[in-house]
Amino acid sequence: MQLSQFLGLTVAGACLTSAACPPRIEDGIRAGEDLAQWAQESINAFFPFQDGWQDAYDIAFSPDVYATFNATVFTFDTFKAAYESFYPLLNGGFAGTFEHGFLSAVGVPNGSDNGGFVTVTGWQGGHIGGVGGPLLNVTDAAYMIITETEDCERKIVEFRESSNLGKF
Which pTM does this prediction carry? 0.84
Express each pLDDT in 114-153 by its tens digit: 999 999 999 999 999 999 999 999 999 999 999 999 999 9
- Per-residue model confidence as pLDDT tens digits over 63-114: 999 999 999 999 999 999 999 999 998 888 999 899 999 999 999 999 999 9
Domains and CATH numbers, the chain: 25-167 (3.10.450.50)
Distance CA 142, CA 160 (A): 5
Query: What is the pLDDT, as a whole number, of residue 36?
Result: 98
CA distances to 14, 42, 138 from 114, rounded to whole Å, are 16, 15, 32
- Phi then psi for residue 60, to 5 deg, are -80, -35
Split at pLDDT 50, 70, 90, the class of 20 is confident
User: Bigger pLDDT: 30 or 12?
Assistant: 30
Question: What is the torsional sign of CA 55, 60, 64, 68?
Answer: negative
Radius of gyration of the chain (CA): 19
d(Cα 133, Cα 93) in Å, to the nearest integer?
A: 10
The b-or-e profile of 29-58 (16+ CB within 10 A means b, else e) is: eebbbbbbebbbebbeebbbbeeebeebbe
20 Cα distance to chain centroid:
23
